[in-house]
Amino acid sequence: CDRLTRAMVRTLGSRAMNETFETMAMAAIIAVALGAFLRQRGWGIAIPLVIAGAVIGVLPVGPTAPPDPEVVLVAVLAPLVFGEALGSSYLDLRKVRRPVLVLAVGLVAATTLGVGAVAAALVAMPLAMAFALGAILAPTDAVAVSAVARRAGLPRRMVSILEGESLVNDGTGLTALKVSLVAASAGAVTLLEVGRIFTAAVVVGVGVGAIGGYLLSLVLRRSKDLIPANSLVLVAPFALYALAEALDGSGILAVVVAALFVANRQHADPGHAGRLQSVTLWKHLTFVLQCLAFFLIGLELPDVLSRVTRTDLRSLVILVPVVLVTLIVLRTVFVFAMIGMAKARRMEEGGTVRGAIIVSWAGARGPVSGLAAFTIPVAFATGELVPARDLILATTFIIILLTLLLSITLTPLARALKISSDDDSALLARVDAQLARAALDRLTDLEVEAMDAGTPVPASVSDRLRGDVERRLEAPSGLATESTAADDGVALAAELARAMIRAEQEELITMRDAEGLPDALVRPLLQQLDVRERALRSQRP
């Protein structure tokens, strides 16, 4: 944390600040432009952006590697992980909490030790630094894994496991790296010290994230002005990360927990006013940060490789393929062992073993590993140079690129194993029918109330609204927009339509809580309802 603070002060208080800002600004413009081009064509952004960054990194003009990657860790990674976690569901993750925790904690520990042992045995690398390499490569990347998993059309449960693992294991891996660097600096570290560091990282990280998430949720719920409320959420990841790190906790874990709190609160309130604005804002911001993160990885690659000595180059040729195979084997063995230890509870279900193969293969690394590698100092506090630093950096960046390339094969592998996404058509039809009935019931109640008040609803208005909803019941095809185009009573029609939408929102939340509907299905429906409500509010009589 002291190192991070000094880095931030040094950057903010010197010419490096201008260099960092210029680099980030130029890199962001290029990365987003390329990302938009790739997205419009339906292509993945990760590998092309890494390659583009590497190509631009060797040119004499254009953006260069940021002078202080530790600042990038806060400026890019904290809000990026926050945005990814906002798109995840606490309720869906809770259903798969056991495999997520086993993978995010157990597999990270196994990878740290396994890769460390292999690296120390293969090349002249101190054991503590070898474990540092293992810790850096242990976390899977939330952005890459999520994008590939969804593109491959994997089942919802499998996507939840992979996303949950990649969100939580960032904090575990960075904490393991901290332990390894302490051991490398001190020459040894006791189990008591390891336990203390991990306990502090988890307890403080979760605590800061929970408190921060609760306070943010409180502000969002009570604020009548959406702009300052959502602006506060926008800057919160930086403060939460810095606070958790200052207290020896995991900044990444704090950011993830806070985001899950906020997302859960936003989607628990049927009529949450700022939900649509927040979702839209973070979708845009997350896309920008995703593009920038992968582009920066490529931008760093030429500089990292240029510092590799001839001796390290020979070690690199041996280390990279062996470490890559070790990562794949460890993940595969661990996943299948996890299934075996579950007492074959799900082994009879079709697709369990096939699913384990997919989970084993979905282990792409990304910006977290790259930025974590740069937190290794050039020298210890004693002035002694950190051994094997350049070799670790080069190995990390090449492994990132190779695992991203391997992730391309996940889609054909899923097809070969006949694994496909969940067929939600029948469930969506049932949900839509129930929401339509809730809307009709609300309209009937409002008609009765208006009649009792002596101001009956015009038949042309109620018939138009009722007809739109009844057509959904006759041929369910998704949520339709209630018409408000009747010449008479446009304002009244819009008011009634908004009340009917609110009834659908309330019914949808009730169904989710009572029947356990997955948030992955509920949230898009809520967003459709939010869009319809926003459109009605924008109408003027």
The model's pLDDT over 6-55, given as tens digits with 9 standing for 90+, comes to 544 444 445 555 666 777 888 889 999 999 999 998 888 889 999 999 99
Predicted confidence band of residue 244 (pLDDT cuts 50, 70, 90):
very high
Share of the chain above pLDDT 90, in %: 27
The answer on pLDDT for 280 being more than 50 is: yes
Strand pairing partners for 395?
Answer: none
| pLDDT confidence of residue 171 | 86
Q: Residue 387 burial (CB < 10 Å; 0-12/13-18/19+)?
A: middle
pLDDT in tens, 75-109: 888 898 899 888 888 888 888 888 899 999 999 99
**CB burial of residue 275 (10 Å; 0-12, 13-18, 19+):** buried
Beta bridge partner(s), residue 385: 379
Q: Which residues pair with 379 in a beta bridge?
A: 385
Burial of 538 (0-12, 13-18, 19+ CB in 10 A): exposed
Mean pLDDT of 199-222: 91
Q: Are 238 and 78 in contact (CB under 8 A)?
A: yes
Residue 98: the pLDDT is: 87
User: Per-residue pLDDT for 480 more than 60?
Assistant: no
Residue 519: closest CA among 146, 162, 87, 91:
91
Where in the chain is CATH 1.20.1530.20? 68-293+307-416
pLDDT for residue 163? 86
Contact indicator for 23, 66 with CB cutoff of 8 Å = yes
- The mean pLDDT of the chain is 84
In 206-307, the DSSP E strands lie at: none
Report the alpha-carbon distance of residue 467 to residue 82 in Å, rounded: 43
User: Could you please report the per-residue DSSP string of 276-290?
Assistant: HHHHHHHHHHHHHHH
Tokens for 467, please give them: 């007809």
Q: What is the pLDDT of residue 38?
A: 92
Q: Return the pLDDT at 266.
A: 82
pLDDT tens sequence across 361-408:
888 898 889 888 888 888 887 888 888 889 999 999 999 999 999 988
Residue 346 pLDDT level (bands cut at 50, 70, 90): low
> For the domain bounded by 68-293+307-416, which CATH number is listed?
1.20.1530.20
- Contact predicate 129/392, CB 8 Å: yes
User: Roughly how many angstroms between the first and final C-alpha of the chain, as a whole number?
Assistant: 57
pLDDT given for residue 132 in this prediction = 94
From residue 166, how far is each of 93, 133, 160, 163, 339 by CA, in Å? 12, 18, 10, 5, 19
